[in-house]
Structure 1
């Protein structure tokens, strides 16, 4: 969204054939950019009279004491708990909050970011959508002087603060527990393909198998973009005659559907097949049998995110140096009845 005719970071990136992230890093003195590339970027920026990050230079806007929050959906309790943590810290710091969702849609996410920018929010906390395109437009938001903080999911091309849960260790511990109980043929139902949480949990699964000397079998790994695909994926395994004695799932909603399918087929949980979910959603305590799951400290993640972005805003106003952080929040396995 062009507010005026001044040169933008994306103009430099387009002319030189590099990414917005590369330009941003060069302008901020990052050592990640090759010297030759950095020289070209700095020279073009000077030629175009480019003015980076006006807020950091103390040239712009008055604070509105408002933070924007963009979540993928309101359908998952996890994000409500995150929001509760964010709101508690912002309220204590006398900040207002504007909340919207991306609908797990890249276009809607982009529109939400620009909309919040037009409201002159002091910062934006967001969790990237499932099917995001190249999100270099986010660099333009930062370039307009609006700090971004990413929750739960990582996009490595964006330099910013991140608050995530230890998805790798959480899944690793879940697999360890199942193996300790004698399970060897463990199905892993991955989440959406292009998000970091799905990748990290899958890596934890693979590493736990490796550490126990169990060969990774790609036939036991299925990928589902949405929980509605879980039953059909498991039906496909049965149709192929693939045996398994445990199922680990991307989240608790996936696990719920997996448990329903097993019950429909007369398979006893946990006697025949153990099941572990992820996130510790409220439904995990109400399934029959009660679902074992990996706990994510959602509310604490929200509190940490809000504190970090307020601190960044304060330091930018004071024109003080600021280093981004990636905060990794602890996860742990909660054993209930599906892994007994």
Structure 2
């Protein structure tokens, strides 16, 4: 009986062994993944040709784009996010892309896990919004996938794009408006400092705040002008109450975010303090709630929609092949609201 000899099918492992690279590296070359060096591509393609390797149908399907983009947000508590996300989604949709959202919950391990899961799902790129990750961690991921970052001021980054409001200018606008009230007791409410990151948005806003006071000849400018509060909602209320207990009226207060300004305004009203007489408050983000008649809060508008459009377009450019970094600043404006 004649036995037919069959040729053993060449696998991706065979290609990896011949090219002396990992299976993951071969997979990246096959699907034209972002960040593959010309030398790696040449080496793998040489082995593929030599061995006559033919990717299976699913592997071939991985070559093209998935037309999905992963978007990572820290939490859902900031009312600034909806306009930003809506504009990102609308801009991506024009180019046929869909947006997948991951919620980092302000935890570094969760952020890292979500980014890696999105990459494993073969999204074509990532947009990170106010990530808590360190500069080195962002750089590591950006070398593997096209990435744009909103709310992270690092204009020296070379592997990813950044899109931010001009937070220094926004703080200047808010503080100058408070200086013009003639009140000497001007304070800022800010967040806890993050040890490993020197370019957080809150630090830019603090610099703008202190710089403006110095220009206005407030000679007692010092760090005790800045009152730091917790991000925990229950703790925040207690801390804001303590802050008001210590103030000499009238006082003028620049809040890092409307998230802080609105609860502070609420506490003032409970104490029967008159807005824009006993207390002058300016927030940041110009969230929808700030414009409500019962709130009527002056706030810095950092143009969320413009930032969202710029972030989406920057990422699309990177997906198409641009590899030089862009660092974009959007000019904010003060939305002044007078009390009735």
TM-score bracket for the superposition, by shorter chain length: 0.7 to 0.9
User: How many angstroms does 1:76 deviate by?
Assistant: 2.0
User: How many angstroms does 1:289 deviate by?
Assistant: 4.6
Partner of 1:21: none
Describe how 1:2-13 pairs up with structure 2 within 5 A.
Answer: 6=22
**1:118-143 deviation line (CA, Å, top 9, x unaligned):** 0111110002434x4x4634334333
Conserved? CA contact 1:192–1:224, under 8 Å: yes
DSSP-derived class of the 1:87 partner = helix
**1:247-280 deviation line (CA, Å, top 9, x unaligned):** 1101112001111111222221111110000000
The 1:83/1:239 distance shift into structure 2, 3 A limit, reads: closer
The 1:127/1:225 distance shift into structure 2, 3 A limit, reads: farther
The 1:56/1:225 distance shift into structure 2, 3 A limit, reads: farther
The 1:278/1:324 distance shift into structure 2, 3 A limit, reads: same
For the pair 1:154 / 2:153, whether they are aligned, the reply is yes
Partner of 2:177: 177
For the pair 1:245 / 2:247, whether they are aligned, the reply is no
Distance 1:155 1:109 in 2: 19
**1:274-293 deviation line (CA, Å, top 9, x unaligned):** 00000000010115350000
RMSD: 2.8
Partner of 1:14: none
For the pair 1:233 / 2:239, whether they are aligned, the reply is yes
The 1:80/1:237 distance shift into structure 2, 3 A limit, reads: closer
Conserved? CA contact 1:117–1:141, under 8 Å: no
Moved more, 189-198 or 172-181: 189-198
**1:233-257 deviation line (CA, Å, top 9, x unaligned):** 3333444465551111011120011
The 1:69/1:242 distance shift into structure 2, 3 A limit, reads: same
User: How many angstroms does 1:218 deviate by?
Assistant: 2.9
Distance 1:96 1:252 in 2: 30
Q: TM-score normalized by structure 1?
A: 0.76
Distance 2:40 2:329 in 1: 31
**1:36-55 deviation line (CA, Å, top 9, x unaligned):** xxxxxxxxxxxxxxxx9217
Describe how 1:11-22 pairs up with structure 2 within 5 A.
Answer: none
Conserved? CA contact 2:146–2:315, under 8 Å: yes
Conserved? CA contact 1:73–1:79, under 8 Å: no
> Which residue, 52, 55, 72 being the options, matches 2:74?
72
Question: Can you give the 5+ residue segments of structure 2 that lack an aligned partner in the other structure?
Answer: 1-15, 25-33, 42-61
The 1:57/1:183 distance shift into structure 2, 3 A limit, reads: farther
Distance 2:237 2:104 in 1: 26
For the pair 1:86 / 2:92, whether they are aligned, the reply is no
**1:180-212 deviation line (CA, Å, top 9, x unaligned):** 121221110012422711111111110110110
The 1:256/1:242 distance shift into structure 2, 3 A limit, reads: same
Distance 2:247 2:311 in 1: 46
Distance 1:91 1:71 in 2: 19
Distance 1:336 1:56 in 2: 57
Distance 1:304 1:274 in 2: 33
Aligned length: 286
Distance 1:121 1:55 in 2: 20
> Which residue, 245, 249, 272 being the options, matches 1:266?
272
For the pair 1:209 / 2:213, whether they are aligned, the reply is yes
DSSP-derived class of the 2:272 partner = coil
Distance 1:249 1:287 in 2: 19
Q: Computing the radius of gyration over CA atoms, which structure comes out larger, 1 or 2?
A: 2
**1:35-88 deviation line (CA, Å, top 9, x unaligned):** xxxxxxxxxxxxxxxxx9217889494321211111112232211111111111
